[in-house]
Copies of this chain bind each other. A is one copy, B any other.
Amino acid sequence: MPSSPIRKLAPLAEAAKREGVKIYHLNIGQPDLPTPKQGLDALKSITRTTLEYSPSEGYLSLREKLVRYYHKFGIEVTPDEIIVTAGGSEAILLSFLACMNPGEEMLMTEPGYANYISFAVTAGIVVKTVTSTIEDGFALPPMEAWEEAITPRTKAILLCNPSNPTGYVYSQQELAKIKEIVAKHDLYLFSDEVYREFVYTDEPYLSAMNLGIDDNVILIDSVSKRYSECGIRIGMIVTHNRLVRDTIMKYCQARLSPPLLGQIVAEASIEGTEEYTEACFREYKERRDFFIKGLNSIPGVHSPMPHGAFYTVASLPVADAEDFCRWCLTDFRLEGETIMMAPAAGFYRNPDLGQNQVRLAYVLKKEDLQRALYILRSALKAYSRR
């Protein structure tokens, strides 16, 4: 079981905090924006007196609201086709467990969200990666690379769109290619679309649910990021494939129920929050523009322009980015402050890749991003002079 590259340096950060050091967290996608007032108010108006189990598949009232939410994105499903989970995390794990047997193979791009690997290890499945490069802005790797990676044991492709950690948004053409390969080899397509609301291009967003390969697609979703409510642990699995749903439900029944209180907050957050959603969108877009420009203005730092989510993978002028990240936490202080970043090597399977890269999340307000950029610039200078 690998350690989380996002959280593995946490003990160093804790130690620095105990010394009174202020840390700017660029390492974790914990949005700083407020949860919608509707969601918070829902907690205050709870009248039930027993906080009982919910149905294993989640409350129908929540799933009905989700049906209307998906409809706005052109995704047509019924409440029965939605299963509520303990965050996107559980949605991923249960999808793996239900669709794949131990020893079977799943393909994903690297760099990729590191916790996919952890859940794959848990489910006993083998992950093979197809490499996207910073030089290509992390575009979809060519079809030949996917075909090469496929073996008789390949059962699924996992795509994160928009991508964590790169912020890349796959184009309609790229998705058409993925569809072709999925259909040709009759694979499952796990499509993690939790950043759907944060797409900064003008091209219309295409969900894997609309590729026309209904029985193959398992949509992974979560309210965590779009409503700044990561802590409530509410995600969902959406699929037209009934057999997959029935199998997932067995796992869901074993763990009894998804969080009740989170469902109440999530349900209240879905409707009547259009203004909130637009404001969040504008805020993240502005931060992106500001942050990526700032990064690229630091000598030796390069970040492609991410078109979605709120992450980027940037290369730094260091040989070992993990060492640099650690050093920032243990040794470097700028007026009692420092930054925390996630070493990107943990997002690659190939141990030779991403050594000089970091994943950065722009979920801090602009002044803090500005300060973090300044600290990064200063830290790189000091690190090179050690």
Contact = CB atoms under 8 A, between A and B. Distances in A.
This chain: copies in complex: 2
Interface string A239-273: 00000000100110111111111100100000000
Interface string A87-124: 10110010001000010000000000001001100101
Residue in A30, A228, A254 whose Cβ sees the most chain B Cβ within 10 Å? A254
Interface stretch (A44-52, A179-187, A194-202): A44-52
A230 interface: yes
Interface in A37-72: 39-40, 43-44, 46, 49-54, 56
Interface stretch (A3-11, A131-139, A204-212): A3-11
B118 A256 contact: no
Contacts of A296: none
A134 to B, nearest CB: 25
Contacts of A23: none
Interface in A204-234: 228-233
Residue in A2, A6, A97, A250 whose Cβ sees the most chain B Cβ within 10 Å? A250
A50 B40 CA distance: 9
Contacts of A86: 86, 90, 233, 255, 259
Contacts of A256: 87, 89, 115, 230
Residue in A53, A87, A93 whose Cβ sees the most chain B Cβ within 10 Å? A53
Contacts of A257: 230-231, 233
A44 B49 CA distance: 13
Looking at chain A's contact residues, is the secondary structure mostly helix, strand, loop, or mixed? loop
Contacts of A54: 231
How large, as a class, is the contact surface on chain A?
35 or more
Contact of A122 (B115, B118, B229, B251): B251
A33 interface: yes
Contact of A50 (B3, B4, B34, B43): B34
A167 interface: no
A51 B232 CA distance: 7
B254 A118 contact: yes
Interface of A: 1-4, 6-8, 28, 30-35, 39-40, 43-44, 46, 49-54, 56, 86-87, 89-90, 93, 97, 102, 115, 118-119, 122, 124, 228-233, 247, 250-251, 253-262, 265
List the 6 closest A-B pairs by CB distance, nearest first.
A231-B260, A118-B254, A4-B253, A261-B261, A89-B255, A34-B49
Given A86-B233, A261-B262, 9 more contacts: A1-B250, A7-B56, A51-B265, A52-B228, A89-B254, A89-B255, A89-B256, A233-B233, A233-B258
